[in-house]
Amino acid sequence: MRVSAFLNPYVPVVYACVHAVYTPVQLLNADPAARLGSTGVGDAEAVKSHPFFKDINWQALDLRQAESPDWVDEMLQVFARS
């Protein structure tokens, strides 16, 4: 399922997966009991195992060897034009 999210009125519509839209909502939930990653033991693992972060190589990131995803360059080009 895909939903559209507007970044700002000058940038074209970006289509994002549901996880991309709702993950920030889950991370910023005002209720600590319902907030992603705030349940106690294994909080970091709960965030790391979330479907939104499934393609992240956490070990490479920790070693500062992770490469940025392809879409980063595409988004930088979009913002450069606006």
Question: For residue 3, what pLDDT band results from cuts at 50, 70 and 90?
Answer: very low
Tokens 């992770």 locate to 66
| Predicted confidence (pLDDT) per residue in 9-39, tens digit | 555 555 667 777 788 889 999 998 889 999 8
Residue 59 scores a pLDDT above 90: yes
| Pairwise CA distance, residues 44 & 17, whole Å | 22
Of 73 and 16, the structure prediction assigns the larger pLDDT to 73
Share of the chain above pLDDT 70, in %: 79
The ranges assigned to domains in the chain are 2-81
Domain spanning 2-81, CATH class: mainly alpha
HSE of 59, CA atoms in CB hemisphere, 13 A: 0
